[in-house]
Structure 1
Amino acid sequence: MDRRAEFGRWKAQSLGKADLSRKGSVDEDAVRVVQLLNAQEEFFTTSSCAGRILLLDASTSDSGIQKQHCCWLLVTHKPCVKDDVMAALKGATSNAVLKFEPFILHVQCQTLQDAQTLHSAAVASGFRNSGITVGKRGKTMLAVRSTHGLEVPLSHQGKLMVTEEYIEFLLTIANQKMEENKKRIERFYNCLQQAMERKAISSSHSETKEKNSLLCTHKNKRNQGKAHDPSITEDHEKELEGADGLGISAALFSEED
C-alpha cells in the first residue's frame, strides 16, 4: 500500500474512535492545538491532556512501588484552592499525593521530517522534554512534554503528614505552574501556525518551480522540432505561439498571483 494512503487509513481509524479518557473529550486549553494538527494532512493526535492538578490516594508495597489501582480524590484543569484539597483529603485512607501534571500531547506524523518540524516548535515553546519515536511498521510518533511538574506526598496510611499552611503553599506553586503551562500551550499553537504557513509557502514555490521546469522542457522540445523541420514557416510559428504559448503563460501568471 502507498505510504500516504496507509497513513490516511491510520488517521481515519484513530480519529473515528470514541474518546476513552475519563473526561470523554479534549481539554478546553488543548482544543485549538488538537484541531490545528488534525486539520493537516501530515498529522493526527492520538492523546492529549492540557495539564491538571490532582490528588491521588494509593497504597504502596514494601518496596515503595505504587500499585496499579488508586483512588482519584480530586482532579481539575483549573487553579485549585486549599478548601477543595482539604475536603478531598477526608476520603484518603492510604497515601495521598498532590500532583501537577503539565501539558502532554502525542501526534502521529506522516514522515520523520514532519515530526522534526513539530519537535522544533515544541522545544521552542518550552516543552523541552519532547521526543520522537519510530516504530517497526514505520509509525512516527512525537510526544510533546516537559518536566514542569510537581508531586508531593501529603498523607501516610490515612494520616495527614503536613500542615494546612504547607498545603496552601504547595497549591500556590501548582497554580503558578498551571499558568505557565497555559502560556507554553499558547506559544506552541503560535509556533505551529507559523510552521504550517512556512510549509505552505515552500510547497507553493516548489509547485511553481516544477511547472516552470515543465514549461521550459516543453518549449525546448518544440524549438528543437522547428529547427529540424523546414516546413514550419514564420507565419505558422506565430500561429503556434498564439495558440499555445500565450495560454501557458497566462496560467503561470495566474499561479503567481
Structure 2
Amino acid sequence: MLKILEDVAISAGKAILEVYHAGPNVTLKQDASPVTEADERAEAIILAGLAKAFPDIPVIAEESVAAGRIPSVEGGRFFLVDPLDGTKEFINKRDDFTVNIALIENGTPVAGIVYAPAKGVAWAGEKDNVEKLLVDENFAVTSRTRIGCRMPSSDLTAVASRSHNSPETEAFLTEKGIKSTKSVGSSLKFCLVAEGDADVYPRFGRTMEWDTAAGDAVLRAAGGMTVDLDGKPFRYGKTKQATDSDFANGHFIAWGRRG
C-alpha cells in the first residue's frame, strides 16, 4: 500500500509545484481559510489515484468536506487526505507545505505519507517501517533512509508551529523544563520528531484530522505516539461530536520514544 500512496502523493506534489511556480490564484472558503488551484488539483489527483487502487475504502479529504462531500466512515477503515497542508506557507512562497495521505483503521493511523514537494523530501511509514525519501526535480525517488525516533535525554527539544504558538504551549514547555525549541510549518513537525531531530510536538490549538493523520502515522511507525491530554492514544474518525464539528481535533501531544 505504501508504494501506491507514495506515487499518488508525488503526482499531487508535481501539480502543486506547477501552480507554485506560476503563482497561485487564492480564494476564501466559507470559514475564511484560503484555498488555491493547487489544493483543488492535488486533491483531484489523490482522489482519482486512491479510487483506482482502493475503490472500497472511503476518503475524507479537506476540500471535498468543505464542498459537503463526506462519505460514511462507520466501517472503521478510511483515508484522510490533506492535499496541501500549509496553504498559507504556499501562498507566501515558503517551502513548508506538504501533501498528506493517511490510512485509518479503527481510529488509528496505520500508514501514511508526508511529502514536501518544494523541499524534495518525503516521509512514509506503516507498522514498524518508516523511511525518509529524497525526491529529485524529475519527481523520482533518489534515496531511501530508515529513520526512527530517538531515545529521550534530560535535555528535550520541542518542535512548535510558526504561526500557532499559544500560552498553553509555553506553559507545557515550562512544566517539562524544555528550553530548546525548533519551529517549522505544517505536518513537518511530526516528521522532525519521527526522524529524531526533536522529542515532542505539543499542540494546544484546533486542528482537523486531515492536518495530523499522515504525520501521526509516520511518527507511530517510527516508534513515537500521539496522545490526548489524558495520555490516551489520539483517535481519528471523530464524528457527531457534541462540542465541535466532525473530524475536528482536540489538543494533543506528539511524543517520540518515551524510554
Range into which the TM-score falls when normalised by the shorter chain? under 0.3
TM-score where L is the length of structure 1:
0.25
TM-score where L is the length of structure 2:
0.25
Larger Rg: 1
More strand by share: 2
More helix by share: 1
